[in-house]
A and B are shown apart, each in its own frame.
Chain A
Amino acid sequence: MDPKDGSAAKPAWSEEFSVYAAEDAYVQRRQFTKFLVLTSFGMVAGQAWIWMKALTAAAPAAWPEIVVARASEVAVGSVRFFTYPTPAEPCILIRRTNGEFTAFSQKCTHLSCAVYYAPARDRLECPCHEGYFSPVTGRVLQGPPPRPLPRVELQRRGDDIVAVRLVEGAEA
């Protein structure tokens, strides 16, 4: 406590939590380097973990076949919602203005907002950041989404529309 007594040992916490604003805000070169190294290591480890997870995650051996709707019940320009391949993955079936059926995952590839079909403009629109997708291929027409929408492959069996496969969109 006595400033004249230079020999008085400062407690360890006084360096960590200095009462002097300048000392408190000062970052040592060694501290900064340590932070950089540890953060970089964490990033590399995280990337490796994601890579390993992608390697080990097996695609489903057989895609389920789910009857999505009856063609006669879907009006031109309207949509049906369903889940494919699991009940946790929402998809949208579109009957386009020209009568064709297409289906896509409903999760926007940007931040997973639910996309909807805009019949007047004949495109899939994400309301969150105005990402637009083609209702034919799922291709990104504008906005921030990095990849096309995953497309659900459909088969027509009589009046039934059957989802048979989910095709991941390639990188834009």
Chain B
Amino acid sequence: MDGYEFFIDPSRCIGCRSCVAACAECDTHRGVSMIHVDYLDRANSIATTPMVCMHCVEPTCALVCPADAIKQGEDGIVRSALKPRCIACSNCVLACPFGVPTVHAGPELMMKCDMCYDRTSAGLRPMCATVCPSQALTFRPADAVARERRAVPTRDFKFGAQHVKTKVFMMAPAGRTIAVDVEDYMEKGPDGSEGWIGGEAGVV
């Protein structure tokens, strides 16, 4: 699927969780969904956003893996952990800046979104992108998305000192072509501490 790119647009997400259900239907990991639908600000809004693996150019999860179990293919897709190698240490879970990998205690295995490798490598679109009714998850050629949408795709993220470039695009509101700096969305905690994200109901 040359020229096809994955786009996440949080502003389009209606929180229907079709993607979560569709992901769990997949034969390669039946019953386990690799997608998180997150509430952005649970206390004040019903806004949600789907989170799939961003497939970092320099994948932090793979860099911290002590068992050499996570590999990035030549297509730039960061695969799920290799079953014979993964030791379920949760290093990747803690390291991933986007909070994507999950460790499953039963099979002692990290499982994460691999952009439906079985489908995309065979010319099919990822399952979540095919079912998303509002196309918050889109798998289309980049020029088609640029033509039809006002939001601007970005794939540069800053997490403090760490600069992460990803394969998957996040749609930012039009006119904001800057890299997404997570610190811009952080607030000071009630005690003045940095790095406070959002807040519990009634606290901020």
Contacts and interface: CB of A to CB of B under 8 A. Distances in A.
A27 interface: no
A17 interface: yes
Contacts of A171: none
B59 interface: yes
Contacts of A22: 73-74
Interface residues of A, number: 11
A19 B63 contact: yes
Contact of B72 (A2, A3, A20): A20
A53 to B, nearest CB: 39
A22 B79 CA distance: 13
Nearest to A1: B162
Interface string B71-98: 1111000010000000000000000000
Interface in A48-78: none
A4 interface: yes
The majority secondary structure among interface residues of chain A is loop
Contact of B163 (A3, A17, A24): A3
Interface string B159-196: 00111010000000000000000000000000000000
Contacts of A21: 71-74, 79
B21 interface: no
Contacts of A19: 59, 62-63, 65, 70-72
Contacts of A4: 163
Contacts of B74: 20-22
B118 interface: no
B115 to A, nearest CB: 15
21 contacts: A1-B60, A1-B161, A1-B162, A2-B161, A2-B163, A3-B57, A3-B58, A3-B165, A4-B163, A17-B68, A19-B59, A19-B62, A19-B65, A19-B70, A19-B71, A19-B72, A21-B71, A21-B72, A21-B73, A22-B73, A22-B74
- For the complex of A and B, the 8 pairs showing the least CB-CB separation, nearest first, are A19-B62, A21-B71, A17-B68, A22-B74, A21-B73, A20-B72, A2-B163, A19-B72
